[in-house]
Structure 1
Amino acid sequence: MTNTSILTLDSVSLALPDGRLLFTDLSETFDQRRTGLVGRNGVGKSLLGQILAGQREPSSGQCRRLGRIHLLNQQVIEHSATVADLAQVGTVLAALERIEQGSVAASDFDTVGERWDIREQLQGHLQRHGLGQLDWQQPAHSLSGGQAMRVALVGAWLSEADYLILDEPSNHLDSNARAQLLSMIEAWDRGLLVISHDRSLLAHMTRIVELSSLGLQAYGGNYSFYSAQKASQTALAQQQLARLKQQQQRQARELQRQREDLERHQARAGRNARHANQAKILVDRQQERSQATAGKQRRDHRDARQALQGKVRDAAREVEQDSAITLHAPTPQRNPGREVLALQALHLPRGTRKPLNLRLCLGQRVGLVGANGSGKSTLLRLMNGELPAPPDSLRLSGETALLDQHCSALPGHTSVLDHLRQANPTLAQSDLRSRLAQLGLDAARIELPSGLLSGGERMKAALAAVLYREQPLDLLLLDEPGNHLDLPSLAALEHMLGQFRGALVVASHDQVLLDQLALDEYLHL
């Protein structure tokens, strides 16, 4: 495979409608190597993907493209009306139908182009990927999140594009679908950019590019290589900055000592001149020389300070400005070992037909796994009391909260700050803001309607409302909590869950995340 440059960024910058500069002066080339794009939530990865695909114009600079680009992002999943729209062939199929009904419009023929067998191609791809039961006219909202993503991926491979840009393609996919995605990626022989926080998926990339406050930085290896190089690079940059700051302190002390020495020398010389009964002209000349020496010393000191300050500024630019992500574990209310949940021959209204049995006490943690459609989300809603269940089949005791994968408890018109205030009205305003800042949520953005935030920022906001609610939790239910979270936030989530002393049920297809949680058992649906 030749590393032909297909996408080229040339000094690209992007300003948001509120005037905030999201990123600036980005220059990078993307060739046919499988590339993963990583970065913190809200840094602009998805918007950069839209620029690369030609769906958004940069505020300055330019993006050059060679060949056809196909972008699969969350907007496709959220705003598609039909299965055909999910596969991004809805307009082609609609034009084909109009032609079959007698249309002679040039625009319809232009839309179809050479894709006269697109209907058969779509159905054949759906069949091969275990989705043959779907009809291309079927409403998109009738599909599960995993099915919708699989259809969108089928559309990506059906696009015959020269370059694919996939934004969080493993979200909602079960283990079988993830394996299928990896096989498709391994077989793809054209340009590919994957925007993701999925460590298993990033392990299959041949290059990682990170978008951060420092701009774009390319690392020539998979996720493990990137992680090691990034840690080493960050440590060196921080050490260099610390050394220069120490040098700055030593310099300040030395310059102060030199000033004090000069002042003492001048004072002593003045006293000697007065007592020596020297002619006034000689005394004046000595004072002039002394003032010239003091002036030169001040200039030298100023130049030395400015030179070192410049080095400190340059070193600081090499250190990312993002602060560490911190999550505080909620404290369960009562004694460890108390039962908080019991399932006895529980039958789900949809999903698996197998009766479920489980007893869960404070301090226990369970991984909930199973294929898409097996009923994991339904079971979590039953556990949270959102769906009715026979009292002899499900018993709950204590405070329970559910964070679902769609952040459905977070209204799009409500700000993050208001949402957290509603969850905990007793917490001081300063504490609310501090908790959100520790999650890496920008102070200005927490007052915007949450619908304007990125998926990762919304997930963090919903997580804050669950963790920092007024009543301490006994049972925490998480439905795909890793979806949309950036890598530092995932690490913080894993650390927090390790400290949580309540009962925990986590539904996830992310085996790396599950492995970090020291689960007591798995419940397979």
Structure 2
Amino acid sequence: MPHTLTSAVTLDRLSFTWPDGSVALSDVSGAFGVRRTGLVGRNGSGKSTLLALIAGGLQPTSGTISTSGRVDLLPQQLTLDTGRRVAELLGVARALDAVRAIERGDTDERHFDAVGDDWDVEARARAGLAEVGLPADALDRRVGELSGGEAVLTALIGIRLRGAEIALLDEPTNNLDRDARARVRELVRGWRGTLIVVSHDTALLEDLDDTAELYGSDLSVFGGPYSQWRAWLDTEQAAAAQAETAARQLLKREKRDRQQVESAISTRNAQGKKAAFERSAPRIVLGAKKRAAQVTAGRLRMEANEKVDAARAAVDTAGRRVRDDDAVRIDLPDPEVGSGRRIATLGDGERSWVLQGPERVALIGPNGAGKTTLLERLVASAGGADDAPNAGPAGAEAAAGRPDRAIPLHSAHAVAHTDRVGYLSQRVDGLDEAASVLENIRTAAPGAGDVELRNRLARFLVRGDAVHRPVSALSGGERFRVALAQLLLAEPAPHLLVLDEPTNNLDLDTVDQLVEAIAAYRGAVLVVSHDDAFLARIDPNLTLELRDGVMTEV
């Protein structure tokens, strides 16, 4: 359940507005405890902005932030000077160079000032690099010699070495392969001090003590990892929905009772008028009865109205507990792919695998193995694809019912057997930057009218005047949704969807939508991903690993 602890970071009515007037955060209050906390929230909720504000990289428009110590930030996108030494990326170069100078006999006072008490800086730095699989001589290498994953891990080790009391990590596992992700999790599990991690990596979130959610202007903290928070939220929302239903039913009854009161008053008034007309009693008695009836009617009306108002307030209170979130709704068209139809062939020169019918194939492997290059070759081959059965072992094996998925071949390849291939690249760079959102979507579905296209875009939360904005003016999350819409709204529908790290830029709710869409899609799907939880949910028929130029079935 939600709880509070001794605060390391406290926010008081914190707001931030970008120079163009768009509001990123509005009156956010809350606190992070002296623990390891995962921060979740929808795309665009302001998580990265919040970290930048806590770290001091941005200044609040209004409100205050108080922290219990020094703050260090690992940003979502590292700005790397590839010519710098690894020691500089770690943040220990000044102390390290000073220690080495003193060891060479240089007793300049400035060296001692640079070292301070950090005489074991080199040993600690080497030990940290060893934790992430880098050799002892890596300290003096150039950053450009590191892989992307190694650079992130090195920067993470640097935060720990610098010893800030509060560490902020923004999507630290994005674009990392399995080995690097595992090392990040090891570092996080052993982290001392306050740690706040923005991530959609559920495996990483599961290693943390608390889960915080940024939702609208509310920052709430739950005492437990992501899975426990999710279970609590689902239970709370189910109870909230039930309470709202009960409140609406009570309001309906109170309105019906009020109508009955009005009907009774009307009947009583009619009887009074009839008695007065017939003069069934003295006028003074009839007048007294009329005044008494008016008093009673007023009291009954007031009581009935108060009950209706109370019931309406209960509906409002219960309704505020129920989330009415906008969610991307992905309905994929039926590409009409038969179960025996060959869609693509992947191979490494020794063996190949045929993707046929509405199958799901996962392609995994370390960073730098060539997975994206292989996907690009596959997509490029679609222009000359031939739907007719190919001659040779692949066609014969497919016709025979595929007793063995692997077939010996003589050269590495990735070939599409259809020209209807939809590709979502990891860089989301398939959009015309100068064209509007609507113009980009129109190129994918030229047969649809603007009204229909706008309705379809609304399912991806792109609405109103936003459809006329140029792609170059979109945020990262907006760009991804437009690229996804362009892919999934294409006419005719693709026989094969090729997705390269599709969850990198998605919040967890949108990942849920994507999983459901892939499950319902009747075409073939080829996915490159390091997200094991995502791959497990789409339940691939086949998983291939590409490593050192060799492709193997996992």
Same-fold call, TM cutoff 0.5 = yes
Q: 1:362 aligns with which of 352, 357, 364?
A: 357
Match of 2:68 in 1: 66
Distance of aligned partners of 1:330 and 1:51 in 2 relative to their CA distance in 1, 3 Å threshold: same
Aligned-pair RMSD on alpha carbons?
A: 3.8
- TM-score w.r.t. structure 2 length? 0.80
Q: Is the 8 A contact 1:156 1:164 kept in 2?
A: yes
Q: Compute the displacement of 1:68 (Å).
A: 1.3
The answer to whether the aligner puts 1:26 opposite 2:7 as a matched pair is no
Match of 1:505 in 2: 526
Q: 2:490 aligns with which of 466, 469, 474?
A: 469
Match of 1:176 in 2: 179
Q: Compute the displacement of 1:150 (Å).
A: 3.2
Aligned partners of 1:478 and 1:216: how far apart in 2? 33
Distance of aligned partners of 1:31 and 1:381 in 2 relative to their CA distance in 1, 3 Å threshold: same
Distance of aligned partners of 1:319 and 1:23 in 2 relative to their CA distance in 1, 3 Å threshold: farther
Match of 1:432 in 2: 453
Q: Is the 8 A contact 1:364 1:502 kept in 2?
A: yes
Aligned partners of 1:167 and 1:468: how far apart in 2? 32
Q: Compute the displacement of 1:114 (Å).
A: 8.3
Q: 1:40 aligns with which of 35, 42, 56?
A: 42
Distance of aligned partners of 1:153 and 1:427 in 2 relative to their CA distance in 1, 3 Å threshold: farther
Q: Is the 8 A contact 1:212 1:320 kept in 2?
A: no
What aligned pairs does 1:202-241 form with structure 2 within 5 A after superposition?
A: 202-213=205-216, 215-241=218-244
Residues 191-220 of structure 1 show CA distances to partners (whole Å, capped at 9, x for unaligned) of: 111111111111101111111137122211
Distance of aligned partners of 1:62 and 1:113 in 2 relative to their CA distance in 1, 3 Å threshold: farther
Q: Compute the displacement of 1:134 (Å).
A: 7.1
Match of 1:396 in 2: 416
Q: Compute the displacement of 1:374 (Å).
A: 0.5
Q: Is the 8 A contact 2:336 2:522 kept in 1?
A: no
Residues 469-507 of structure 1 show CA distances to partners (whole Å, capped at 9, x for unaligned) of: 122111111111111211111111111111111111111
Distance of aligned partners of 1:418 and 1:317 in 2 relative to their CA distance in 1, 3 Å threshold: farther
Query: How many residues are matched?
Result: 506
Q: 1:329 aligns with which of 328, 332, 348?
A: 332
Structure 1 stretch displaced more, 410-419 or 24-33: 410-419
Q: Is the 8 A contact 2:261 2:304 kept in 1?
A: no
Q: Is the 8 A contact 1:91 1:111 kept in 2?
A: no
Q: Is the 8 A contact 2:94 2:114 kept in 1?
A: no
Q: Compute the displacement of 1:186 (Å).
A: 1.6
Q: 1:377 aligns with which of 354, 372, 379?
A: 372
Residues 131-190 of structure 1 show CA distances to partners (whole Å, capped at 9, x for unaligned) of: 5697889576x8764344334334333432211111111111111111111111122111
Aligned partner letter, 2:481: K
Distance of aligned partners of 1:213 and 1:393 in 2 relative to their CA distance in 1, 3 Å threshold: closer
Aligned partners of 2:239 and 2:87: how far apart in 1? 46
The answer to whether the aligner puts 1:55 opposite 2:57 as a matched pair is yes
Q: Is the 8 A contact 1:168 1:484 kept in 2?
A: no
What aligned pairs does 1:11-22 form with structure 2 within 5 A after superposition?
A: 11-17=13-19, 19=21, 21-22=23-24
Q: Is the 8 A contact 2:421 2:494 kept in 1?
A: yes
Q: Compute the displacement of 1:243 (Å).
A: 0.9
The answer to whether the aligner puts 1:275 opposite 2:295 as a matched pair is no
Match of 2:345 in 1: 342
Aligned partner letter, 1:150: L
Aligned partners of 1:49 and 1:516: how far apart in 2? 30
Aligned partner letter, 1:383: L
Match of 2:401 in 1: none
SS of structure 2 residue aligned to 1:74: coil
Structure 1 stretch displaced more, 36-45 or 273-282: 273-282
Q: 2:162 aligns with which of 139, 159, 164?
A: 159
SS of structure 2 residue aligned to 1:385: helix
Aligned partner letter, 2:534: L
Aligned partner letter, 2:199: S
Q: Is the 8 A contact 1:214 1:318 kept in 2?
A: no
Aligned partner letter, 1:82: T
SS of structure 2 residue aligned to 1:505: strand
Distance of aligned partners of 1:89 and 1:370 in 2 relative to their CA distance in 1, 3 Å threshold: closer
Aligned partner letter, 2:366: A
Q: Is the 8 A contact 1:381 1:387 kept in 2?
A: no
Listed as ranges, the gaps of 5+ residues in structure 1 are 101-107, 347-354
Aligned partners of 2:80 and 2:231: how far apart in 1? 39
Aligned partners of 2:378 and 2:157: how far apart in 1? 34
Q: Is the 8 A contact 2:500 2:527 kept in 1?
A: yes
Aligned partners of 1:417 and 1:14: how far apart in 2? 30
Residues 29-63 of structure 1 show CA distances to partners (whole Å, capped at 9, x for unaligned) of: 22331110111111111111122222223333211
SS of structure 2 residue aligned to 1:217: strand
Q: Is the 8 A contact 1:33 1:206 kept in 2?
A: yes
Q: Compute the displacement of 1:322 (Å).
A: 0.9
Aligned partners of 2:86 and 2:64: how far apart in 1? 29
Match of 2:397 in 1: none
Distance of aligned partners of 1:85 and 1:439 in 2 relative to their CA distance in 1, 3 Å threshold: farther
Q: Compute the displacement of 1:316 (Å).
A: 1.7
What is the identity percentage for the equivalent residue pairs of Structure 1 and Structure 2? 34
Aligned partner letter, 2:11: L
Q: Is the 8 A contact 1:36 1:208 kept in 2?
A: yes
Q: Compute the displacement of 1:453 (Å).
A: 4.9
- TM-score w.r.t. structure 1 length? 0.84
Q: Is the 8 A contact 1:87 1:151 kept in 2?
A: no
Match of 2:514 in 1: 493
Q: 2:257 aligns with which of 249, 254, 257?
A: 254
Distance of aligned partners of 1:122 and 1:233 in 2 relative to their CA distance in 1, 3 Å threshold: same
Aligned partners of 1:124 and 1:145: how far apart in 2? 20
Task: Answer with 1 or 2: which has the greater Rg.
Answer: 2
Q: Is the 8 A contact 2:86 2:140 kept in 1?
A: no
